[in-house]
Amino acid sequence: MQRDTVTAFVALGANLGDAVGAVRAAMDAIDGLPGTRVVRRSTLYRSAPVDSSGPPYINAVVEVATMLTAPALLQELKAVENRAGRVRPYRNAPRTLDLDILLFGTASVTSASLTVPHPRMDGRAFVLRPLAEIAPQRVAPDALARVRDQDCVPLADPPTG
C-alpha cells in the first residue's frame, strides 16, 4: 500500500566549516531521500547563535513532499547530518549541519526523539523568517513581530535549485 504524500518543513543550519556549502548540499541530499522531494527552498540567512556559541550560523528552510513517516524522515535527516560530519559533544554545540523537522502536515508528534511542531520554532527568527518566505500562511504575524530584534539577515545570493 502506498502512503499519501505529506508536506513537511525542515530547518537547516550550520556554523562550522563551509556552512553555506553544507546547507546547500543538505538541500540537495534531502531532495534525494527516498520518497521525498524538495518543493521550495528559502533564501540562506545569516544569524547569531541562539542558545549556542561559535561563529554565525547559516540557516534555511525547505518545504518537502514526502511519503516517509515523521520518524522515518527524522532518521533520514540524521543520516544526512552524520554524512556531513555532525558530532554532538554537548547540547547546542556548534555544528557542521543541523536538520530539524518543523512541521509534518497537520500532525502533532511527541516522542523521546521527535516533537512536531518543533517546540522552539516560534521564538527563533532563523526559523520563522525563512519559513515565512516560502510558506507565509504557516507563520503568524505576531510570531514574526516577537523575533524582529533577533540578528537574522538574508545572504545576498539566492539559493540554487
Catalytic residue flag (residue 100): yes
Helices 19-31 & 70-83, crossing angle to 10 degrees? 140
- What is the grid cell recorded at 134? 516560502
156 within 8 A of 46, measured Cβ to Cβ: no
Task: Give yes or no: 40 in active site.
Answer: no
Catalytic residue among 95, 124, 129, 138: 95
Q: Which of 24, 41, 46, 86 is catalytic?
A: 86
Euclidean distance between CA atoms 155 and 34, whole angstroms? 30
Q: Which of 98, 124, 129, 138 is catalytic?
A: 98
Grid coordinates in use for 152? 537574522
3 state SS of 137: helix
Establish whether 86 is a catalytic residue: yes
Instruction: Select from 18, 20, 106, 7 the least CA-distant residue to 59.
Output: 20
Q: Which residue is catalytic, options 100, 124, 129, 138?
A: 100
* Residues involved in catalysis: 86, 95, 98, 100
